[in-house]
Structure 1
Amino acid sequence: MCSEGIVERYVNFYTDFAFKKLFGTEINKELLISFLNALLHGREKIEDITYLNAEHLGKQEYDRRAVFDVYCKNEKGEHFIVEMQKGEQQFFKDRSIYYSTFAIREQAPRGDWNYELKGIYTIGILNFSIYPDNTDFYHEIKLIDIDTKEIFYDKLTFIYLEMPKFTKEEDKLETLFDKWLYAIRNLATLMKRPEALQEKVFTRLFEAAEIAKFDRKERYEYEESLKNYRDWISVIETAENKGVAKGHAKGLEEGIAKGRELGEKEKAIAIARQLKDMNFDVEVISRSTGLDIKEIERI
């Protein structure tokens, strides 16, 4: 049993355990359906989803694999990849594109095929910013014609939510989407269900997220997941601080640039070392940090 003490009433949504329990299990799929409908702002109404295998090994033995947090399709056959990202990764956008290719290839049937595809949504709930100079927290990306600005292909969509930029307080929540983001951001700090979150779906959310209702196995798994999350945050903060400190030794202007460079490298190495200690697969560590596999093996 880990030594982390739990004083919160509800789980931390950013932990792997909580995210997969609340969004990735059949018993709680109404939560994911509600979130996806709110995310899509009424453009379509998802009635049901089917969870798909989250681990993909590729077509050949030597292919790289992908492990999704949540992977499902709706009744129309549209695919949804939903990922919770705790920390910034050097090649995060590349990773998103790579993951989407699995949902594309899996739609190819055996035999004759006219190449028609169903829609694919890759959704990232990010606990960091990928556009630091942009104040918007919601980003939707599609393929477009650069000259005409018209959408070239509307079946491939990437949606990124920069959670640190969502700062609405309870009395400012207007839409169901606002309420979902507020719940995701604040769940671990709440001691009761907020008055603004009175929709039926949030009754289910707060029931499923209450730690006191976990059995012994769930409690243990959550404590381990929470410890890993806290270790991850600590590793990132330490690496960033060390990088900035080294940078200051070489002068302010040069030091800031160098500090960032050193910070990113040290952060990646520190994270890789931490993940190795947690027995993560080397390929997973490589994709998470951007480090080469051989470099990781030497750490």
Structure 2
Amino acid sequence: MLHIAHAPIYAHPLPEGHRFPMLKYELIPEQLLYEGSITQKNLFAPTVCADEIVLLTHDKNYLDKLKQQTLSAKEQRHIGFPQSPALTERELIITQGSIDCCHLAFENGIAMNVAGGTHHAFADRGEGFCLLNDFATAANYLLHQKLAKQILIVDLDVHQGNGTAKLFEQNNSVFTFSMHGAHNYPFHKETSDLDIGLKDGTDDGIYLPLLQNTLDMLLEKVKPDFVFYLSGVDILETDKFGKLKVTMQGCKQRDEIVFSKLQQHQIPCTVAMGGGYSPDVRTIVEAHCNTFRLAKDIYGLN
């Protein structure tokens, strides 16, 4: 079965102007259920991640600030959201969702988080709508529990995974790969193990062969026993901030390349959604839903 972590959307945890980025997290499962791609049995609700697991990645002082609602105004501006207890709790649930997905991926090859991919969060601070780094926390959990020895993070969001890169810059057990817009946020890039900065206007004809060749090389070089895949759809030509020219079909082919190679090599994978900022929310939802549909089809799951 394809297991999908779905964190609850609290009733208006954000001011009016901040709600649009959250809308897709409600609409993605609704669309998949409506069309019959999944049933309620595919969805599960994670619990709150325990402090001791979060502290494998994040500083205690920072976690205390999140839980006690003592972030400064400057820290909140860097994150992009005003602090609230509900938002902190949701982030802890998202993080646990990615950890739960790891266990389920060992069983079924793949599991997916309707949220997550919060790759701009550092050990001691949040940035870019990211409070905690769910992939980093889940990767450190796997290593701590000796459930994986060599992890590959494939970050295909249009924005570099700067927090993830910084968190693992001294850790040879986690290889960070980010393929992103060279002239996009964050404007100060950290150094991943492999960064591919794409020129503005990069289209399917350039993007897809480059990804395919790079992924082949990395699977051979890194030999991961677990992969995290951040499948942001802000690479779309319709995206307000992406600056790339990848089509809807090209975005779908991107996911197909990743899933087919991991399934062929029998490497378990946890997937998180990442960003997407096309003006029409239906475009965002359709692109993300393609990721779920392809995972189900390629892995032969019900």
Whether the TM-score (by the shorter chain) exceeds 0.5 is no
Task: State the TM-score, normalized to the length of structure 2.
Answer: 0.29
Question: Which is higher, the Rg of structure 1 or of structure 2?
Answer: 1
Q: TM-score, normalised by structure 1?
A: 0.29
